[in-house]
Amino acid sequence: MEKKVFNVKKFIIFILVVILIILILIGGLIGSYFFMISSPSKSSETVNINVSSGQTYSTISSMLKEKGLIRNEFAYKIYLKLNKVGNLESGDYILKKNYSVEELIHELEKGSITLASTKRVTFVEGKNMRYIIKTITENFDITEDEILNKLKDESYLDELINDYWFLTDDIKKKGIYYSLEGYLFPDTYDFYTTADIDDIFRKMLDNMESKLSEYKEEIQKSDYTIHEMITLASIIEQEAGSADDRKGVAGVFYNRLKNNWSLGSDVTTYYAEKIDNYLRDLKQSELNDCNDYNTRSSCMAGKLPIGPICNPSINSIIASIEPTKHNYYYFVADKNGKTYFNKTDSEHTSTVARLKREGLWIDYEN
């Protein structure tokens, strides 16, 4: 019987294959570990947690997972074993969903917050970026120049465009006064007193994303871009006499756009001229000014402004997404906020005259 010869070459190949498989498995495990301790979300939404007396970094793992602050409890606990962490103080913490485990632990090591370390700030609906800048500088150790520089920082804007589906390159168009105008959702927020510009902007953008998510499919199916709809919403916010009239006003503007008419909106002229109150009539030179925002100018026939003129409420945004379909091309609001719709210029002129006779016309300073 012939004796089998030991094949050294095949054995070496076998050993190398086994080593390769082991290395692949180890690489996969390492890759999975680093993925599991990475940020669980792109959102900078904040989450409040309370750590009770006697709890440890390990015992709060299930709470962190439930709150969406970590991807995996086991990987989180491995991180704790591999890294030296400080003592965990009982109390309240405000944490961001986009923290990695390393960043999360770092925040927890800082200690719990006190009421004095947070600040509640309200941003009013329908106000423009100049108002938002003023509100921020009044409440935080942030200067106007710092905010303006941030709004012009293209690499920063590209980051935001990548993180938020409703932000597009339209916010970087040449001629836009403020890149994020219209997209910072007006609401009441709780911030750290040490919040920076990015913290503030992202919290407002997160809120906008939350509000728009319900209408995402409608927006994507529309003949108009999200930027155009937010721009129109910002005009509706300042033009409509009452919340109930916004969809009707939106219908008027869409009718005008479809027929290549000028929107003829005075509020766009005020914004173009950077006039922050409507206490005086506009001058003829201002109305005629060929500015990318001024829809009273003949050069803007059939066009929307280059960008939003304020930060609109959700009702105005919904109106721009779901306008009332009608045959009206004119509207005017009286001093009590009631809106009147007309089909023709002669009907509109007649309505204005009647409002003046009845003392319902809005009078401005000269």
Q: Indicate whether 5 pLDDT > 70.
A: no
Query: What confidence category does residue 278 fall into, taking pLDDT thresholds of 50, 70 and 90?
Result: confident
Q: Indicate whether 2 pLDDT > 80.
A: no
Asked which of 18-22, 254-258, 284-288 is least confident by mean pLDDT, the reply is 18-22
Task: Give mean pLDDT, residues 322-342.
Answer: 93
- The more confident residue out of 14 and 259 is 259
Copy the structure tokens of residue 310.
Answer: 């304020």
CB under 8 Å to 8, separation ≥6 — which residues?
none
Task: Give mean pLDDT, residues 299-321.
Answer: 97
CB 118 within 8 A of CB 193: yes
Task: Give mean pLDDT, residues 311-317.
Answer: 97
**3-class SS at 336?**
coil
Q: Indicate whether 349 pLDDT > 50.
A: yes
pLDDT number for residue 154 = 96
Angle formed at CA 161 by CA 158 and CA 167, multiple of 5 degrees: 140
Closest CA to 272 of 287, 256, 284, 260: 287
pLDDT number for residue 93 = 87
> Of the ranges 277-286, 304-313, 328-337, which is most confident?
304-313
Task: Give mean pLDDT, residues 287-314.
Answer: 96
Query: What confidence category does residue 365 fall into, taking pLDDT thresholds of 50, 70 and 90?
Result: low
CB 45 within 8 A of CB 202: no
Q: In the block, which residue shows the tokens 């600040």?
A: 119
Asked which of 52-56, 167-171, 318-322 is least confident by mean pLDDT, the reply is 52-56
R_g of the chain computed on alpha carbons? 29
- The DSSP result for 213-267, as a single string, is GGGHHHHHHSSS-HHHHHHHHHHHHHH-SSGGGHHHHHHHHHHHHHTT-----HH
C-alpha distances in Å from residue 160, one per residue of 43, 98, 149, 209, 311: 11, 14, 15, 12, 17
| Confidence (pTM) | 0.74
Closest CA to 128 of 274, 239, 244, 230: 274
Share of the chain above pLDDT 70, in %: 96
User: What CATH number has the domain spanning 46-113?
Assistant: 3.30.1490.480
C-alpha distances in Å from residue 194, one per residue of 113, 119, 139, 199: 12, 9, 10, 9
Q: Indicate whether 258 pLDDT > 60.
A: yes
Task: Give mean pLDDT, residues 65-74.
Answer: 94
Task: Give mean pLDDT, residues 334-342.
Answer: 90
Query: What confidence category does residue 366 fall into, taking pLDDT thresholds of 50, 70 and 90?
Result: very low
> Of the ranges 12-26, 266-280, 302-316, which is most confident?
302-316
Length of the chain: 366
pLDDT number for residue 344 = 95
- Write the DSSP symbol of residue 117: G
**3-class SS at 313?**
coil
Copy the structure tokens of residue 74.
Answer: 């086991």
- The more confident residue out of 29 and 145 is 145
Please provide residue 282's backbone torsions phi and psi, each rounded to the nearest 5 degrees: -80, 145
Start-end of CATH 3.30.1490.480 domains in the chain: 46-113
Average pLDDT, the chain: 91
Share of the chain above pLDDT 90, in %: 70
How far out from the chain centre does Cα 345 lie?
A: 38
CB 317 within 8 A of CB 308: no
CB 236 within 8 A of CB 318: no
Task: Give mean pLDDT, residues 38-65.
Answer: 88
How many C-beta atoms surround the C-beta of residue 355 within 10 A? 18
How many C-beta atoms surround the C-beta of residue 233 within 10 A? 25
Number of alpha carbons in the 13 Å side-chain half-sphere of residue 3: 2
How far out from the chain centre does Cα 154 lie?
A: 17
pLDDT number for residue 114 = 61
CA distance 169 to 24: 41
Task: Give mean pLDDT, residues 212-240.
Answer: 96
Continuous segment of H or E residues that includes residue 88: none
Q: Indicate whether 176 pLDDT > 60.
A: yes
Query: What confidence category does residue 4 fall into, taking pLDDT thresholds of 50, 70 and 90?
Result: low
Query: What confidence category does residue 18 fall into, taking pLDDT thresholds of 50, 70 and 90?
Result: confident
- The DSSP result for 126-178, as a single string, is T--HHHHHHHHHHHSS--HHHHHHHHH-HHHHHHHHHH-TT--GGGG-TT-S-
